[in-house]
Amino acid sequence: MKSSPNTRRLTAALVATGLALSACSSRPGGDSGTSGTGTFSVWDPYPQFDGTSEWVKVIRKCGAQAGVDVERQAFDTTDLTNKVLLAAQQGTAPNVLVVDNPVVSTLAEGGVLKSNQDTGLDASGAAPNLVAAGQTGGQTYGVPIGANTLALYYNRAVLSTAGVDPAAIKDWVSLDAALARVTAAGKKGITFSAIGTEEGTFQFLPWFWGAGAQLTDLSSAEAVSALELWKSWLDRKYAPNSVIGNTQTTSWQEFATGEYAFAVNGTWQLGNAKKAGFEYGVIPIPSRTGGVAPAPAGGEFVTVPAQSGKDEEATAARIANCLTSPETVLATDTALTYVSAVASVQQQQVAAQPDFAVWVDAVKSAKGRTGDGLGTRYPRISQPLWTAVQAALTGSKSPKDALQAAAASAK
Amino acid sequence: MTRRSWRTVVGVLLTAVMLFPVYWMINVSLTPADRMRKSPPDFLPTAPTFEGYARVLNEQLPYFATSLVVASGTVVLTLVLSAPAAYSLAKLRPRGRRPLLFALLVAQMIPGIIMALGFYGVYVSLGITNTLWGLIFADSTIAVPFAVLILTAFMAAVPDDLVQAARIDGAGALRTFWSIVLPVSRNGIVTAALFAFLWAWSDFVFAATLDSGGSLKPLTLGIYRYIGNNNQEWNAIMATAVVASVPATILLVLAQRFVASGITAGAVRD
Amino acid sequence: MPRRQAVGWAFLLPLVAYLLLCYVYPLLTNIDLSIRDHTVRSFVHGGAPLIGWDNYAKVFADPAFGPALRNTVVFTVVSLVFQYVIGLALAVFFARGFRLSVTLRALLLVPWLLPLIVSASTWAWMFNSEAGVVNAALTFLGFGTVDWLTSPDWSLVAVTIANIWIGIPFNLVVLYSGLRNIPAELPEASSLDGASRWQAFWYVTFPLLRPISGITLLLGLVYTLKVFDIIWIMTRGGPSGSSTTLATWSYELGFGTMLPRFGPSAAVGNILIVLAVAAGLLYVRLQRHQETA
């Protein structure tokens, strides 16, 4: 080996940059606020909002009103539950926690959250069907910050070339007929997300509930018919095979190509829909025999975790009340494109944006996933359900067998 | 002569096949969002957009700096821990070192997720999540066992005469280590440093677990931001990826030769 | 020489402390998690009852265990074989220098440098059923399209291909330098003896490469067994578990659902570690056997 001066230079350079850089890195990085230090920590699942966003300004304002500094941290939704559990185990849970609604009852029963009664948090302004997700054991935990749900987006141009009238879609039969005409016209039918995560279950539920099935009985004939509907779409090429791996985001991107007639997607895509470059419309998801299917309520709760003292919990509740108060929540819900949980704010939203009315209606008839007395059992049901959906759509099991296996493992 | 150019042609073809995904990454980074899902896709960026790169420059530079600091810090920490240990294992050979060597081998096999879970609990109670030091420390666990094994193999190749001579001259163990063994082992050190840098640079599991809440995020989380959120912007993802591979590429091309000899020494001497 | 012993251990002390802190502690936590029956409440407030091997029994009895173990073995073995064979073929090819060989060899290292999250995303996009370039190429060549990531028959193949691609450069670099260390006269001498090139490679060069092949495969094994990012980003172990390995299963149990199941997750992680240690021991034995033989 030829010994070259390059090596020495390189090593020296590596070591030198390393030293120089790590020397200046000793300044304290984003400190994880601990309770009782005058700095209150707020954790949320909105990493898309950075320090300059409206949401972060609202947090600071609410902290200032309660007389404390706030330190905000954003996590991916899927990470947040684990992070909170681990933090709570170490006694350093955040002071205020914004968390996905189906997790609230689990955290509450785990003793991570304080009830509204204990802290003075007030959920009376929010719609009861939305608050339900935060109720367990006769207590309410937290306040919904807003809600989203699912509906059917459609592409006007594709429907009109195929001669389909969206207003005529009232049940599964008319939807199937519309899909048949669209695909016969050489366009693509419908895209949705059937990925093996909570998103997949979330998207399946309107069809599941719309068939009349209950989460307490995964293998009922109604449940099987819902899964058979999805399976038949794949078999007849009404829906692309990619739905099996689609997240709601990638499913939306398929719809945004302009090739698809329909997409099952959420309130939060409204902003993107306006940028899609074609005319779109929104109709509620039909139930099997006609009428609007109950769609699952999405969206987060602002909650107060257990802390070192009553005073801190009361201060945290003041911040949480401020975050969900009608005066501040409009800006937050607008930024998230959520439907507010508060009736008066919903009216302001519709006044500002008339096409929002369909979503407000959809949220009013939306159903909590942890409802039907499921509470903490929901996660144990949701996972077998999405597993069954995947097994049926990939053809590895029949819808019936898949759901029977799911029912067995959900017990 | 013709034989040789025949080899060149085959070599170019093989390289082209192997690097096609990299080409595809660059191609996608230049594709406008509305052409992204075209079927069949465009094989050439016929209507290139630099939107993705503009976003990278606007949004990713702080992440880039974080990654650089973390990766360099990991290099320093890894070397500080592993070089003295390797010297001892190779030259001082204290009793009981064999179990230690086996423990190092096993340590390399523990999946990152298990480590990350353990770290998170400790970090939260110490309040050092979302700090550069915390991430440097965690990232070093990917590299330290490997670095010790490589450096041990390397230092074992240093002739004992050299070490003896230094001792006769009155040099203590520390002096021998610092002024004799360390300089002679520089290929091994470059190898260990390079791997430590690359692994820390591309780490995702530790970053996602330990650093995702604050503002000090490394580049891998910057990319993940484009993947995980409500919009999957492939041209931004791929543009970040292209930019992210630049420092690593430079380093590896520069240090390639030393790396090769470093690993070979490890194999021969194991 | 007690003084030398002491000095030796003094140099090792920081490393030993580091190992105890960074490896032994998380490992013990993980073992503790795996032998207790954790609920969310007991995870936070303590007091989870000891249940011994129950979590392990549950994991072994789970219908997902068999496929996950099989996928892990297939993924690891197929990846190792292809990475090694392709890496060795390239190394042999490049061992005789030719014009551009140095540049091309450097370029071939690029797959190794990309952060895994990048390579995995790129492959996921290339394998996309609808707009992926792989299917476009298959159509162009007159084959049918394949649902690489969404068909249970293909998802493991897709993630394995991506993993092989990532691993080839490492094998190439190491085996290439191994080849360079073999004195050129040896294979040449055997060629003079009338051996064909292939025979010269097979009977002379390849056996001389054995020690370096051993360490290459061992390191490959260690890193492949715990591969998680690639599979998680490309398929999340799906569809319906068809590309789930022990590493992704452990993650899925612990982090993938709303309600973490820490006990079983830790148990799967520990099973994976036991497998890895077994492979390490096997390697050490083989090596010793070789040395004495």
Q: How many CB pairs (< 8 A) connect B and C?
A: 270
Interface touch C126/B24, C-beta < 8 Å: yes
The CA distance from C291 to C287, in Å, is 6
Look at C139 and B40 and tell me if their CB atoms are within 8 Å. Answer: yes
- A241 and A217 co-located in one domain: yes
State whether A92 and B125 contact (CB < 8 Å).
yes
pLDDT score for A50: 76
What's the CA gap between C174 and C169, in Å, rounded? Answer: 9
Q: Residue A7 and residue B258: Cβ atoms within 8 Å?
A: yes
Element housing B130 (H / E): none
Q: Would you state the pLDDT for residue A114?
A: 93
Strands A69-74 and A96-100: unpaired
Which residues lie below 8 Å from residue B117, measured CB to CB, with a gap of 6+? Answer: A86, B209, C26, C29, C30, C254
Q: pLDDT-derived band of residue B252, with 50, 70 and 90 as boundaries?
A: confident
Q: Indicate whether A230 pLDDT > 90.
A: yes
Same domain? For A232 and A321 the reply is no
The answer to which of A117-121, A230-234, B254-258, C39-43 has the lowest mean pLDDT is B254-258
Same domain (yes/no): A93, A174: no
Q: What single-letter DSSP state applies at residue A37?
A: S
Task: Name which residue leads in pLDDT, C260 or A124.
Answer: A124
Residues A159 and A140 in one domain: no
Question: Quick check: B117 pLDDT over 80?
Answer: no
For residues A314 and B265, the model is more confident at A314
User: What does the pLDDT read at residue A27?
Assistant: 31
User: Domain count of chain A?
Assistant: 2
Residue type, C39: T
Decide if A37 contacts A293 (C-beta within 8 A).
no
Do A387 and A318 lie in one domain? The reply is no
Find residues 204-243 of chain A whose CB sits inside 8 Å of chain B: none
Helix, strand, or coil (residue C19):
helix
Please check the confidence at residue B36 and state whether its pLDDT lies above 80.
Answer: no
HSE, side-chain direction, 13 A CA sphere, residue C160: 22
Q: Are residues A135 and A108 in the same domain?
A: yes
Q: Is pLDDT above 80 for A127?
A: yes
Q: What is the CATH number of the domain that holds A276?
A: 3.40.190.10
* Residues paired with A305 in a beta bridge: A113
- Shared domain check, A355 and A391: no
Residue A342 has pLDDT above 50, yes or no: yes
**Do A127 and A71 reside in the same domain of the chain?**
yes
The pairing of beta strand A39-44 with beta strand A69-74: parallel
For residue C292, the model assigns a pLDDT of 61
**Cβ–Cβ under 8 Å, residues A121 and A317:** yes
Please write the tens of the pLDDT for every residue from A179-213.
999 999 999 999 999 998 888 999 999 999 999 99
Whether the per-residue pLDDT at B3 is higher than 70: the answer is: no
A82-86, A215-219, B18-22, B65-69: least confidently modelled range: A82-86
Q: Stretch A245-257: mean pLDDT, rounded?
A: 88
Q: Is B152 helix (H, G, I), strand (E, B) or coil?
A: helix
Q: Flag whether A9 is in a domain.
A: no
Q: Which two tokens stand for residue A373?
A: 């007395």
Question: What whole-number percentage of chain A has pLDDT above 90?
Answer: 56
- pLDDT over 70 (residue B194): yes
Tokens 């590895």, residue located: A396
d(CA B8, CA A397): 51
Residue A30 pLDDT greater than 50, yes or no:
no
Domain positions in chain C are 65-243
Assigned token pair, B212: 């995702």
Q: In the structure encoding, which two tokens stand for residue B267, read together?
A: 């194999």
| Per-residue model confidence as pLDDT tens digits over A354-402 | 888 889 988 988 888 887 778 788 888 998 999 999 999 999 899 999 9
The set of residues, in sequence order, having a beta carbon less than 8 Å from that of A251 and lying 6+ positions away, is A191, A192, A193, A243, A263, A264, A265
What is the percent of chain A with per-residue pLDDT over 70, rounded to a whole number?
A: 91
Q: What's the average model confidence in pLDDT over A171-180?
A: 95
pLDDT, position B265: 54
Give the per-residue pLDDT at A4.
39
Task: Write down the pLDDT at residue A286.
Answer: 94
- Phi then psi for residue C50, to 5 deg, are -70, 130
Is residue A32 pLDDT above 60, yes or no? no
Residues of C with CB below 8 A from B85's CB?
11-12, 14-15
Is there a contact between B52 and B238 (Cβ–Cβ < 8 Å)? yes
Among all residues of chain B, which has the CA nearest to that of A79? B209
Residue of B nearest to A43 (CA): B213
Q: Measured between CA atoms, how close is A20 to chain C, in angstroms?
A: 23
Residue A3 scores a pLDDT above 50: no
Predicted local distance difference test score (pLDDT) of residue B257: 66
3-state helix, strand, coil in chain C (%, to 5): 75, 0, 25
Residues of B in contact with A11 (CB under 8 A): 186, 189-190, 193
Bridge-partner residues for A300, per DSSP?
A100
Give me the phi and psi of A89, to 5 degrees please.
Answer: -60, -35
Domain span at A214 = 150-294+374-410
Nearest to A338 by CA among A5, A17, A46: A46
Of A11, A75, A79, the CB nearest to B190: A11
Q: How confident is the model at residue B268 (pLDDT cuts 50, 70, 90)?
A: very low
Token pair of A322, please?
Answer: 């401020």
Q: Which is nearest to A35 in space by CA: A410, A313, A394?
A: A313
Task: Give the confidence band of B54 by pLDDT, cuts at 50, 70, 90.
Answer: confident
Side-chain half-sphere CA neighbours of A211 within 13 A = 21
Q: Which long-range contacts (CB under 8 A, 24 or more apart) does A172-177 make?
A: A172/A210, A172/A229, A172/A286, A172/A287, A172/A288, A172/A289, A174/A286, A175/A286, A176/A232, A176/A238
The one-letter amino acid at B94: P
Mean pLDDT of chain A: 85
Residue in A22, A30, A89 closest to B215 by CB: A30
In a domain? residue A170: yes
Q: Which domains does chain B have, with CATH numbers?
A: 1-49 (no CATH), 51-269 (1.10.3720.10)
Looking at the fold, whether A272 and A394 belong to one and the same domain comes out as: yes
Cα Rg of chain B, angstroms: 23
Q: Specify whether the CB–CB gap between A370 and A183 falls below 8 A.
A: no
Handedness of CA A221, A223, A224, A225 (dihedral sign): positive
The residue ranking higher by pLDDT, B224 or A168, is: A168
Distance of CA B46 to the CA centre of its chain: 34
Q: Does some domain include residue A27?
A: no
- Cα(B186)–Cα(B193) distance, integer angstroms: 10
How close, in Å, is residue A33 to chain B by CA atoms? 8
Q: Which chains have at least 3 CB atom pairs separated by less than 8 Å from chain B?
A: A, C
Beta bridge partner(s), residue A191: A263
DSSP state of C36: B
Which residues of chain B neighbour C46 with C-beta distances below 8 Å?
A: none
CATH of domain C65-243: 1.10.3720.10
Sorting pLDDT into bands at 50, 70 and 90, what band is A34? very low
Residue % of chain B over a pLDDT of 70: 89
Chain C closest-CA separation from residue B61 CA (Å): 17
Residue A67 has pLDDT above 50, yes or no: yes
**Secondary structure (3-state) at A165:** coil
The dihedral built from the CA positions of residue A5, A8, A14 and A16, taken in this order, carries a sign that is negative
DSSP A298: B
Q: Please say whether the beta carbons of C9 and B88 come within 8 A.
A: yes
Q: What angle do CA A85, A86, A89 make, to 5 degrees?
A: 85
Q: With CA atoms as reference, report the closest residue to B248 among A311, C188, C229, C110.
A: C110
Is C239 in contact with A198 (Cβ distance < 8 A)?
no
Q: Which of C125, C129, C175, C249 to mutate to test the interface with B (most CBs of B within 10 A)?
A: C125
pLDDT for the residue A24: 33
Highest mean pLDDT among B77-86, B157-166, B239-248, C144-153 belongs to B77-86
Same domain? For A118 and A227 the reply is no
| Separation of CA A257 from chain center | 23
pLDDT for residue B112: 81
User: Is there a domain that residue A4 lies in?
Assistant: no
Chain B residues with CB under 8 Å of A18 CB are 72-73, 75-76
The confidence band for A8, taking pLDDT boundaries of 50, 70 and 90, is very low
Identify whether the C-beta of residue B162 lies closer than 8 Å to the C-beta of residue B180: yes
Comparing A165-169, A267-271, A344-348, the range with the smallest average pLDDT is: A267-271
pLDDT tens-place string over residues A176-188: 999 999 999 999 9
Q: Are B211 and B4 in contact (CB under 8 A)?
A: no
Residues of chain A positioned with their CB less than 8 A from the CB of C150: 241-245, 394
Q: Smallest Cβ distance to B21: which of C27, C29, C126?
A: C126
Residue pair C218/C203 in contact (Cβ under 8 Å)? The answer is no
Q: Write down the pLDDT at residue C144.
A: 83
Residues of chain A positioned with their CB less than 8 A from the CB of B235: none
Rg from Cα positions in chain A: 24
Q: Which band of pLDDT confidence, cut at 50, 70 and 90, is reported for residue B100? A: confident
Token digits of residue B130: 């979302």
Average pLDDT over residues B100-117: 81
Q: Comparing A119-133, A158-172, C106-120, which segment has the lowest mean pLDDT? A: C106-120
Per-residue pLDDT for chain C (293 aa), expressed as one digit of tens each? 567 788 888 888 889 988 888 888 888 888 888 888 877 788 888 777 888 888 898 889 888 899 999 999 999 999 999 999 999 999 989 888 788 887 888 888 888 878 888 888 889 889 988 778 898 899 889 888 888 988 888 999 999 999 999 999 889 888 887 887 777 776 677 766 777 778 878 888 888 888 778 878 888 888 888 788 889 888 888 788 889 999 889 888 887 777 778 888 889 988 988 888 888 788 778 777 766 65
Q: Is the domain of A390 the same as that of A264?
A: yes
Q: Do B92 and C118 touch (CB under 8 A)?
A: no
Which of the 8 DSSP states describes residue A147?
Answer: B
Phi, psi (rounded to 5 degrees) for A95: -75, -40
Burial of B139 (0-12, 13-18, 19+ CB in 10 A): buried
Please name the residues in contact with C91: beta carbons below 8 A apart, sequence gap of 6 or more.
C171, C172, C175, C176, C178, C179
For residue B241, pLDDT over 60 is answered with yes
Looking at the fold, whether A132 and A250 belong to one and the same domain comes out as: no
Half-sphere exposure of B257 (CA within 13 A, CB side): 11
- Tell me if C250 and B111 make a contact (CB, 8 A cut-off): yes
Q: Between the CA atoms of C148, C154, C156 and C161, what dihedral angle is there, to the nearest 10 degrees? A: -60
pLDDT for position C1: 54
Residue contact B245–C118, C-beta within 8 A: yes
For residue A88, tell me if it sits in a domain. Answer: yes
